[in-house]
Chains A and B, each alone.
Chain A
Amino acid sequence: MFEVTTDWYLTLSAILFSIGFFGMMIRKNALIMFMCIELMLNAVNLTFISASKHFGQIDGQIAVFFVLVVAAAEVVVGLAIIVSIFRKQSSASVDVLNVSRG
């Protein structure tokens, strides 16, 4: 019979990360892109937790806390940026923002 091993969690995490990254590449709405970033961060968190179990050490879970805090900070600042961009051009699409074009 199958046994749920660490490999399975890692595979799940990889799939989640890939989906998030794919979304980053194809979506134009800045908000959806942020959600995709959240997906990727959660994929990483999942890796940390499964590794924590695999090695029997608590430090992986501590790392998840830090990722959580960074994600929260990033969301707060990112959403504030989106709001101010939206005020300026009344669109949340990132494709119109190309001031840093080479």
Chain B
Amino acid sequence: MCLEVNLELLFLLPIFLPLLTAIFLFFNKNLFNELITNFFTLNSALLSFAISFYVFVMLALDKFQPINYSIFQWTNTPDIKMGFTLDGLSGIMLLLVTGLSFIIQLFSTSYMETDEKHNNYFVYFNFFVFSMLLLVMSSNFLVMFFGWELVGLSSYLLISFWSKKPAAAKAGNKAFILNRVGDFGFLIGLMIILNTFNTFDFYTVLKSASDVPENTITLITLFLLLGAFGKSAQFPLFSWLPDAMEGPTPASALIHAATMVTAGVFMLVRISPILQHSKIAGMVIISFGLITALLAAFSAINQYDIKKVLAYSTISQLGFMFIAIGAGAYVAAIFHLVTHAFFKALLFLGAGAVIHSMHHEQDIRKMGGLRKQMPVTASMMGIGTLAISGIPPLAGFWSKDEILASVFANGGIYYIFWALGLGAAFLTAFYMGRHWLLIFEKDNGFDHSNVYEAPKTMTRPLIILGLFSIFIGFINTPFFHGVEKVLHYSLEGVEITHLPEGITLIVLAVLSIGAGFTGLLIAYLIFSFEIFKRFNFKRINLDYPINLVKDLSFNVLYLNKFGNSIFVSGMKNFTRKVAVIVDGLIIDGSVNFVSTAFGKTSRVASATQTGLVRSYVVYFGLFLLLLIGLFIITPMVPK
């Protein structure tokens, strides 16, 4: 009993510690130099991680029984409270967020060293960590929504951190506005939930899900799904994430790769007990996940910005997580979330180190051959590339293979989905191989003699993340279902798609390894071995299709332009008409009418206000006599 009480109070500490740090740093903005700021923020992050670790161990000893704690009850009916919960799911996220936050802040201290808004960066960063923890630790939809909105806000602050750059300011706005579309859906979902269940509490909602007709469930999940699409950058609402790369690279690593964009996945897993009742929602999730995974992977093939490749790769991997959720493999989705967080953070931080050493040059065509100058970064990014490509025994293999195998295990139409997923995995390996080769291997003839290895504060986080990227996959293998055990209580009553048994699993694994290897091999052949130059394909003219693919990939199938012409220009025309007709005639007209009417009547009335005392005396007398007359006609005192 004593243990539980301690835990209840203790697991709130990692949530509010970053908030306190942010407030503390904000108010001492002018007082602290960089060293003191670093000292405070790193210690707070480390303490927060240590507490999270302790709490997680305590939770593990308690077999991951959920612990609920509510700070205060707002209303009883409907049941709305400021509640937090600690179970396997939020425990994993707690560890992930605080751990990565510490590692990335360590990296940031030297990456942001020379920036004049150094302190602000850490204020926003800590504020983001607080919001994210609020999101994942919430025990009801409302608190989750608070966190959901706050991560949007802090993400906006960090994207447009260098707000003097027009592109950064614009990217921040874009992210904010596209997220708003999703949040709108989320909000409507919340309203339906409150109307249906009369509570926001997860456990009550999820337990009573089977009493509610399927149509309502579908409606709720589809609206919540819109929110998840916005936050996790899925197909219709994905274009903000590549633009968000205008922000500082470490912030991108934490927000736009490891944590915030996975909020949608987290939320869908959280509501999986009601999600499984709706077949339509599952179908929608898996098809949009597939479209996103393929589209983003295809777009990543011909990008030249070092961070944009990673951004599209992130979108693609998020697509994989959505595929897993759509196929009912919730554990696989969370597992992929965790492994992806590590290797994508590694890749982003590696990219950050490269950018730092290249003096803020982000075009990979101007890099090449950096392996000799930056051996540690090169090898760590190599590990990340292998991990994301799904090469065993690195982390990405286990999670991605589990997703693909789970999709396969569903049978029927899911075989096609599996094949498409395998194609996306192949594309992933291909563009990641290209990415690494173009940066570190291929010699583009640029002089890099003044490029040196990043400082130790940058390489050490890389090494830590590299180790994790290698070994984190072993927490949930076909032989040891670690994550599933952790999530046992969170996914109580949920039918999880299990992996196929025996020879099928081995064949599937071999196939996905094959896809990874093929992708890497083709990348090697094209970009390092330069197969097109060595062998003259004179008989078949390949220039046209290659250029077409390059063009389409670089412009993301022209989806942005298409969207711009349809939505932006269309909306502009429409709003202009609305402005003229509705606003100009009806609203302005009525407002003007009211104002002129008031003006005329008040001009008439003001004629009585002569300013002369004697007129006022007369008015006074007039109304006094009227009052007396009224009183005489209707006496107020009974006789």
Residues of A within 8 A of B (CB): 21, 24-26, 28, 33, 94-95, 97-102
Inside 8 A of A33's CB, which chain B residues have their CB? 613
Asked if A101 and B609 make an inter-chain contact with CB atoms under 8 angstroms apart, the answer reads: yes
Asked if A25 and B612 make an inter-chain contact with CB atoms under 8 angstroms apart, the answer reads: no
Inside 8 A of B607's CB, which chain A residues have their CB? 102
Contact with A along B607-639 (1 / 0, CB 8 A): 111111110011001000000000000000000
Given contacts A21-B621, A25-B621, contact A99 B614 (CB under 8 A): no
Inside 8 A of A28's CB, which chain B residues have their CB? 614
A to B CB contacts below 8 Å, 13 in the list: A21-B617, A21-B621, A24-B614, A25-B614, A25-B618, A94-B612, A94-B613, A98-B612, A101-B609, A101-B611, A102-B607, A102-B609, A102-B610
- Min Cβ gap A17→B in Å is 11
* B613, closest chain A residue (CB): A94
Asked if A97 and B621 make an inter-chain contact with CB atoms under 8 angstroms apart, the answer reads: no
Inside 8 A of B609's CB, which chain A residues have their CB? 100-102
Is B606 in the interface zone, CB < 8 Å from A?
Answer: yes
Asked if B606 and A97 make an inter-chain contact with CB atoms under 8 angstroms apart, the answer reads: no
* A30, closest chain B residue (CB): B613
In the bound assembly, the distance between CA atoms of A33 and B615 in angstroms comes to: 13
* B616, closest chain A residue (CB): A100
Count of residues in B whose CB is under 8 Å from the partner chain:
13
In the bound assembly, the distance between CA atoms of A73 and B4 in angstroms comes to: 75
In the bound assembly, the distance between CA atoms of A94 and B617 in angstroms comes to: 12
In the bound assembly, the distance between CA atoms of A33 and B614 in angstroms comes to: 9
Question: Which of B608, B614, B617, B618 sits near A102, CB closer than 8 Å?
Answer: B608
Contact with A along B586-613 (1 / 0, CB 8 A): 0000000000000000000111111111
Given contacts A25-B621, A102-B606, contact A94 B611 (CB under 8 A): no
Asked if A101 and B614 make an inter-chain contact with CB atoms under 8 angstroms apart, the answer reads: no
Looking at B608, B609, B613, the one whose CB has the most chain A CB atoms below 10 A away is B613
In the bound assembly, the distance between CA atoms of A100 and B611 in angstroms comes to: 5
Inside 8 A of A98's CB, which chain B residues have their CB? 610-612
Residues of B within 8 A of A (CB): 605-614, 617-618, 621
Asked if B618 and A101 make an inter-chain contact with CB atoms under 8 angstroms apart, the answer reads: no
Question: Which of B606, B610, B617 sits near A24, CB closer than 8 Å?
Answer: B617
In the bound assembly, the distance between CA atoms of A97 and B613 in angstroms comes to: 8
- Min Cβ gap B255→A in Å is 60
Inside 8 A of B610's CB, which chain A residues have their CB? 98, 101-102
- Min Cβ gap B494→A in Å is 74
- Min Cβ gap A82→B in Å is 12
Inside 8 A of A21's CB, which chain B residues have their CB? 617, 621
In the bound assembly, the distance between CA atoms of A101 and B613 in angstroms comes to: 10
In the bound assembly, the distance between CA atoms of A26 and B614 in angstroms comes to: 8
Question: Which of B606, B614, B621 sits near A94, CB closer than 8 Å?
Answer: B614
- Min Cβ gap B11→A in Å is 67
Given contacts A21-B621, A25-B618, A25-B621, contact A102 B611 (CB under 8 A): yes
- Min Cβ gap B341→A in Å is 71
In the bound assembly, the distance between CA atoms of A98 and B610 in angstroms comes to: 7
- Min Cβ gap B295→A in Å is 69
- Min Cβ gap A90→B in Å is 19
* Besides A26-B614, A101-B612, A102-B607, 15 new A-B residue pairs in contact (Cβ under 8 A), listed by A number: A21-B621, A24-B614, A24-B617, A24-B621, A25-B617, A28-B614, A97-B611, A97-B612, A98-B611, A98-B612, A100-B611, A101-B609, A101-B611, A102-B608, A102-B609
Inside 8 A of B611's CB, which chain A residues have their CB? 97-102
Inside 8 A of A101's CB, which chain B residues have their CB? 609-612
Inside 8 A of B621's CB, which chain A residues have their CB? 21, 24-25
In the bound assembly, the distance between CA atoms of A97 and B617 in angstroms comes to: 14
* B607, closest chain A residue (CB): A102
In the bound assembly, the distance between CA atoms of A100 and B612 in angstroms comes to: 8
- Min Cβ gap A21→B in Å is 6
In the bound assembly, the distance between CA atoms of A3 and B608 in angstroms comes to: 47
Inside 8 A of B613's CB, which chain A residues have their CB? 33, 94, 97
Inside 8 A of B612's CB, which chain A residues have their CB? 94-95, 97-98, 101
Looking at B606, B608, B614, the one whose CB has the most chain A CB atoms below 10 A away is B614
Inside 8 A of A24's CB, which chain B residues have their CB? 614, 617, 621
Inside 8 A of A102's CB, which chain B residues have their CB? 605-611
In the bound assembly, the distance between CA atoms of A97 and B609 in angstroms comes to: 13
